Amino acid sequence: MNITARTKICMIIGDPVEHSLSPQMHNAGYEALQIDDQFVYLASRVNVNDIADFIKGIRAMHIRGISCTIPHKIAVIPYLDKIDAVAKKIGAVNTIVNDEGKLIGYNTDWLGILVPLEKHITLQNKTVALIGAGGAARAAAFAVTKKGAKLAIYNRTIKKAKELAKEFNGEAYSLDEIQNVKSADIIINTTSIGLKQKNKTPIPKKYISNKQIIFDAVYDSEESRLIKEAKKQDAQTISGIEMLLHQGFAQFRLFTGYEAPIDIMRKAIT
């Protein structure tokens, strides 16, 4: 361990946060680049009602970088000094950089969606069924529409699906109309179904086919039920681990100024 009194703290906040693999991923990167005397990465469960106090803590303790996960990505925005243009368009912040006392909000989740998807498919004119309308869904909507895909959003709270659809020129559906996903080229799950209730899936297996790509943003040590069932249907699959890695590589650069050691960070969490 190379931590000294000069080591800068980076951390992830969420509620829950204990499932997060970000500490292993980032710390493995620091060690590989021999900057583990400069940076250390921790995790903290923060209640969303305490977010204002937590932001005061960042400033008081000069914490260098924060990764925000559920349910903080939208809640942190009013407390930051500056929001970068992409994060503003997405409407969610998953990365905060403390630049000498100025807190700047970024979003790298969209790269976590885009980079793995583009390894499988060219998005131009493809149809995407996006399940969920929270922070991760906003990043996914930005990523796929930026590359010319057509978007249909399905959400439990239809009002939120409609708002997101309006911003990204898509269609909005309730979860009662989930059978429509059958015709999509790509299905992306960004709900937390499968995170808290591990035996649940947002999409019945019968609506998944071998012509589709199924991307589940949820990640865990085990494969999600959605990914398991998609494999049984011979669909191409992308797990939340890929999203975690690619949003994390971009975040690593923002926190440290160094390019992420991709292979080592991948090995640390897979």
- Which residues are marked as active site? 73
Helices (H) and strands (E) in the chain, counts: 9, 12
Q: Based on CB atoms, which residue is closest to ligand NAP, 38 or 238?
A: 238
Q: Based on CB atoms, which residue is closest to ligand NAP, 239 or 256?
A: 239
65-68 vs 95-99, strand pairing mode: antiparallel
Under the rule (CB under 6 A), what is the footprint of ligand NAP? 69-71, 73, 109, 112, 132-137, 155-157, 160, 190-193, 195, 217-219, 240, 243-244, 247
Q: Tell which residue, 43, 249, 218, has the closest CA to residue 140.
A: 218
- Rounded to the nearest whole angstrom, what is the least distance from the CB of residue 74 to ligand NAP in the complex? 7
Question: Which residues lie closer than 8 Å to 269 by C-beta, 6 or more apart?
Answer: 21, 24, 25, 28, 241, 244, 245
- Rounded to the nearest whole angstrom, what is the least distance from the CB of residue 176 to ligand NAP in the complex? 11
Peptide bond into 261 cis (omega under 30): no
CA 112, 117, 121: angle at the middle one, nearest 5?
Answer: 160
- Rounded to the nearest whole angstrom, what is the least distance from the CB of residue 202 to ligand NAP in the complex? 7
- Rounded to the nearest whole angstrom, what is the least distance from the CB of residue 194 to ligand NAP in the complex? 7
Peptide bond into 71 cis (omega under 30): yes
Distance CA 238, CA 216 (A): 6
Q: Based on CB atoms, which residue is closest to ligand NAP, 8 or 156?
A: 156
Q: Based on CB atoms, which residue is closest to ligand NAP, 87 or 137?
A: 137
**Dihedral Cα 162, 166, 172, 174, nearest 10 deg:** -10
- Rounded to the nearest whole angstrom, what is the least distance from the CB of residue 4 to ligand NAP in the complex? 30
CA atoms within 13 A on the CB side of 269: 26
Q: Based on CB atoms, which residue is closest to ligand NAP, 38 or 92?
A: 92
Instruction: Write the secondary structure of 20-45 as one string of H (helix), E (strand) and C (coil).
Output: CCHHHHHHHHHHHCCCCCCEEEEEEE
Distance CA 2, CA 7 (A): 9
